[in-house]
């Protein structure tokens, strides 16, 4: 087995074709965050972006995207925004995590959302969670019927608010793949304001995230796209979502709405309209990411898909130094996540802080 580390922009047509074939052969690898398009776009905004091309015999058997930092520390590519990570591989391929890191020149690789079916990383997991998945394979009517059985009060309330929003504010319309740049900027502004209210770091406060999103929004092919979906009342945008899709999977990434319409829950209406449009376009599933603490995700879900967080370390001085820096912080975070009272208190504190920042900003 040979490992060649290259920059994403150095991937050739034959390698991209092999990459896509591996994704089609293994449905759990169909997530658009594992697509070559996302990796190449990350390479255009990150100087540390790399791809390990793993070859055996006559050609590639796997592709391992990662981000290289100083001291031989590696992270998942675009870790701050990526919702799915891992090795894209041919069916039946076997890897060793230690050998993989050695071939990449890394002492450490940190991961946060590794897809299921990657046993080579299993010994290094520290947290296992579930991504919320909406099953659209049977079409939207079948999904809606399942939702009615699982979450009848949620569905009834959302449909009532949808009707009331239409009566109060005007006819509802929806666009699944909107190309308008001004509306894309509007969605990003809504999302930044939401991060502020919640006391969370603003993803769109980082120029590289904005550039990445704009590059991905410009892509619209059968294999990959960055669709912007928008919900309108009487032609006025009230909610939207920017995500990524492969030929079979749509991933929820940046949903947001106009706070002036909050009492109507336009974000929930947006998600149902988006699921309907996605199913009509042949999308078989919607992945909303990890659902911990999110009532709306749990209400919408058809099933869960495991994702894992952890860190692979080689037996080296560089890995030991990284452990000394990061282990205490990781342990505290894990303790908070495992203690509902502490998790709730931390969430409430962040929202109070966000409210204070919002009021100070408004003065």
Q: Which domains does the chain have, with CATH numbers?
A: 2-130+306-358 (3.40.630), 138-283 (3.40.630.30)
Query: Which secondary-structure segment (H or E) carries 327?
Result: helix 317-337
Q: What is the pLDDT of residues 40-52, one digit of tens each?
A: 999 999 999 999 9
Give the model's pLDDT for residue 132.
97
Entry pTM: 0.88
Give the model's pLDDT for residue 344.
52
Give the model's pLDDT for residue 336.
44
**% of the chain surpassing 90 pLDDT:** 83
Give the model's pLDDT for residue 57.
85
Rounded CA gap, 134 and 142, in Å?
11
Give the model's pLDDT for residue 1.
87
Rounded CA gap, 20 and 39, in Å?
13
Q: What is the pLDDT of residues 230-246, one digit of tens each?
A: 999 999 999 999 999 99
User: Which among 353, 35, 73 has a CA at the least distance from the CA of 196?
Assistant: 353
Give the model's pLDDT for residue 332.
43
Determine if residue 185 is left, alpha or beta; phi over 0 gives left, psi from -120 to 50 gives alpha, anything else beta.
alpha
Give the model's pLDDT for residue 282.
96
Give the model's pLDDT for residue 153.
97
Rg (C-alpha) for the chain, rounded Å, is 21
Chain centre to alpha carbon of residue 125? 19
Query: Which secondary-structure segment (H or E) carries 37?
Result: helix 36-45
Determine if residue 293 is left, alpha or beta; phi over 0 gives left, psi from -120 to 50 gives alpha, anything else beta.
left
Question: How confident is the prediction along the chain (363 residues), in pLDDT tens digits per residue?
Answer: 899 999 999 999 999 999 999 999 999 999 999 999 999 999 999 999 999 999 998 899 999 999 999 889 999 999 999 999 999 999 999 999 999 999 999 999 999 999 999 999 999 999 999 999 999 999 999 999 999 999 999 999 999 999 999 999 999 999 999 999 999 999 999 999 999 999 999 999 999 999 999 999 999 999 999 999 999 999 999 999 999 999 999 999 999 999 999 999 999 999 999 999 999 999 999 999 998 778 999 999 999 999 999 999 987 655 555 555 565 444 444 444 455 554 454 455 444 544 554 544 545
Give the model's pLDDT for residue 294.
87
Task: Report whether 134 contacts 304 (CB < 8 A).
Answer: no
Rounded CA gap, 9 and 239, in Å?
35
Strand 249-257 to strand 285-290: parallel, antiparallel, or no bridges (unpaired)?
parallel
């Amino acid at each position: 087995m040979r490992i060649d580390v290259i920059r994403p922009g150095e991937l050739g047509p034959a390698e991209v074709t092999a990459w896509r074939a591996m994704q089609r052969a293994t449905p759990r690898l169909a997530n658009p965050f594992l697509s070559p398009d996302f990796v190449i776009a990350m390479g255009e905004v990150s100087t540390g972006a790399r791809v390990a091309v793993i070859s055996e015999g006559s050609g590639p058997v796997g592709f391992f995207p990662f981000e290289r930092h100083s001291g031989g520390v590696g992270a998942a590519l675009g870790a701050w925004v990526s919702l799915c990570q891992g090795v894209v591989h041919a069916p039946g391929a076997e890897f060793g995590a230690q050998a993989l890191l050695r071939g990449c020149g890394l002492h450490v690789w940190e991961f946060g959302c590794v897809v299921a079916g990657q046993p080579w990383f299993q010994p290094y997991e520290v947290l296992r969670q579930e991504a919320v998945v909406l099953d659209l394979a049977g079409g939207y009517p079948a999904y809606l019927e399942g939702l009615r059985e699982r979450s009848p009060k949620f569905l009834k309330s959302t449909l009532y608010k949808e009707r009331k929003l239409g009566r109060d504010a005007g006819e509802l319309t929806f666009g699944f793949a909107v190309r308008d740049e001004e509306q894309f900027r509007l969605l990003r502004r809504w999302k930044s304001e939401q991060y502020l209210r919640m006391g969370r770091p603003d993803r769109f406060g980082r120029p590289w995230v904005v550039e990445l999103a704009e590059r991905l929004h410009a892509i619209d092919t059968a294999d990959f796209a960055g669709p912007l979906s928008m919900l309108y009342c009487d032609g006025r945008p009230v909610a939207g979502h920017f995500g990524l899709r492969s030929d079979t999977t749509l991933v929820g990434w940046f949903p947001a709405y106009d706070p002036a319409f909050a009492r109507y829950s336009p974000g929930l209406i947006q998600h149902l309209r988006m699921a309907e449009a996605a199913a009509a376009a042949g999308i078989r599933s919607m992945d909303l990411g990890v659902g911990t603490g999110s009532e709306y995700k749990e209400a919408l879900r058809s099933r869960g898909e495991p994702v894992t967080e952890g860190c692979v370390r080689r037996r080296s001085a560089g890995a030991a130094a990284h452990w000394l820096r990061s282990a205490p912080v990781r342990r505290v975070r894990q303790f908070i996540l495992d203690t509902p009272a502490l998790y709730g208190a931390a969430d409430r504190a962040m929202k109070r802080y966000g409210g204070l920042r919002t009021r100070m900003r408004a003065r």
